[in-house]
Structure 1
Amino acid sequence: MDTRIEEQPNVFGTSLSLSVNGQPMQVTVDPSVRLVDILRETLFMTGTKISCGIGRCGACSVMMDGKLVNSCLVMAYQAQGTSITTIEGVGEEALDPVQTAFLEEGGFQCGYCTPGMIMAVKALLKENPNPTDEEIAEGLSGNICRCTGYSGIIRSVRKAIDAQ
């Protein structure tokens, strides 16, 4: 039995233009729809995860105009004209050094937080290519992992720093 609910046309839709992973996109959505929902449900980019939905866990982290944001807190109208990078845009041709480090150092277990963690590490290393342990902890403070205990994640960050 098909339990999907067919989406009704949105009579309050607004045309939204933005760039996602370097590709120009135009979608018609309600202006108050969350960016995470646009990415996952409209553009079918499911690498960005939804967990808390209130900006506390970091699973939905993406880069908006080069800055790390929680996409569950960004409304469609706020994304108009912006450039978004999702986990799908990281390492499109080959694995990014941060992704490789997470694989090699066991920086994930279930993998649910991993896309947001990788985006946070990318943002951290963009701002500070050689962070101290305190700066790494601060850079990852907006991302929660319930599985790893963080030691593998910290090893992954250190390995990514060395790989630069």
Structure 2
Amino acid sequence: MRFLVAFVAVLGYASAGVISPLVLGVNPGDAQAAAIDATVAAQDTVRAIGEGQARAAEAAVLHNTEAVRQVAETTRDINENAYWNSVAAGQNVVAAVQSQAAALDGVANARVAQLTIPGVPLAAPYIAAAPVGLAAPYGLGLGAHAVGLRAW
């Protein structure tokens, strides 16, 4: 029974604490202080939300700036590699053409050497048969590159 009396007493005290402001009324100073506290808490919350949004926006801008920089750097590298690859390919083509021309020139010179008799010019049969004045400009000649191709 003592327990029951103690329980009722605690219950009465707790309910009196909750009901007393409604029955007795609130002190105007306490109400004004509570309103100021609520206003300050709301302002702090709004400020914290605004600061969080500003930090998020700044982080997004930094992230986007870094992404744009990386894309620009990658594009520059790709273009630079493509340029130097095309330069190398062009040089390889020129070298291949020069090698082919040198090979053809060597074959032509070898063929001329097979067809000529030492001491007799290759153009001698054509010069003898051609009218005067026509053999010199159109003769085959005797130089190192008399017949064949010239390399660049």
Q: What TM-score bracket applies, with the shorter chain setting the length?
A: under 0.3
- Alignment TM-score, normalising by the size of structure 1: 0.17
Give the greater-gyration-radius structure (CA): 2
Of Structure 1 and Structure 2, which has the larger fraction of its residues in strand?
1
- Higher RCO, 1 or 2 (CA under 8 Å, sep at least 6)? 1
Of Structure 1 and Structure 2, which has the larger fraction of its residues in helix?
2
